[in-house]
Amino acid sequence: MMGYASVKRWSRGILVGLLIWALGCSPKINKQALGPDEYFEYAKKKFDDGDYFEAATEFTVIVLKFSGNPVVDDAQYYLAESHFKMKEYLVAIAEYEKLVQDYPESPYVPLAQFKIGMSYHKLSLRPELDQEYTLKAIRQFQRFIEEYPYHELKSNAEKFIQELRAKLGKKKLMAAEIYRKMGHYPAAIIYYDIVLEEYYDTPAAAEALYWKAECQYQLHQYEEARATFTAFIEKYSQHKRVKKARERIEQITNLIAAREKKEAEGQ
């Protein structure tokens, strides 16, 4: 026995076949005579053909004209999708959110939640610029995972969160680099520590640990620098800077030994 969703798809399959036949036989279709399902298939064909502007217009008509009909949540979702395809991400977000709020029982809600995150992801700017949309994307994907922990798109959401976190980590790393290159080593260390504490699972963490040690070296904090370089080698043994870190440890060890010898002679 077919469920409601299966019946709906089967019925629409027949309708879309009839609609395609009608379009092929007539140069113009009377949209005013179309019922809700027929109108949806008419708009969906526009969408499938890549005519997203026209599709958005027709899906809007459906939402307004057939309010209360079961087809409306489908139209609302594809209205949002049309704007997403046209890269009108803020408009798409508003339409996805309308679906979630107005049709909470719709089977499209999980996809809409995910696509809100995707829209913010698309709006996310380069690391050196404002990261408002990056943060919003992360929050949206986290919400999606919490609400739909077994959804097939969960792994995609987790992957996008990692990408976005890497961008935030890089932004903090860039701030640290500015201070380091200016010779403001204490300030640079503060930012490196932020990367290590908040973005420890991103590529920026390795760079932060190495350059924190280098800043400590420049400040003549030799014991601290040696410990940090050692931690860097242990955690990132395959990193391209490991050789340089070993050289620094050897230099620091010699400097500490020379200092201790001088202190002993002074006594």
Q: Crossing angle of helices 185-198/154-181, nearest 10°?
A: 170
Contact criterion met (CB below 8 Å) for 66 and 36: yes
CATH, domain range 1-123 = 1.25.40.10
**Residue among 26, 51, 25, 55 at smallest CA distance from 40:** 55
Q: What is the dihedral of CA 126, 86, 72, 146, to 10 degrees?
A: -20
First vs last C-alpha separation in the chain: 96
> pLDDT value at position 266?
67
pLDDT at 267: 60
SS3 175: helix
pLDDT at 40: 96
Encode burial over 231-247: b for 16+ CB neighbours within 10 A, e otherwise. Answer: bbbeebeebebeeebee
Backbone dihedral region for residue 79 (phi beyond 0: left; psi -120 to 50: alpha; all else: beta): alpha
CA distance linking residue 117 with residue 145, whole number of Å: 11
Tell me, yes or no, if the pTM score tops 0.75: yes
Distant-in-sequence, close-in-space partners of 149: CB < 8 Å, separation ≥ 6 = none
Tell me the C-alpha distance between 227 and 256, whole Å: 13
Consecutive 10-residue averages of pLDDT for the chain (267 residues): 41 46 55 90 96 97 94 97 98 98 96 98 97 98 98 98 97 97 98 97 97 98 97 97 97 91 73
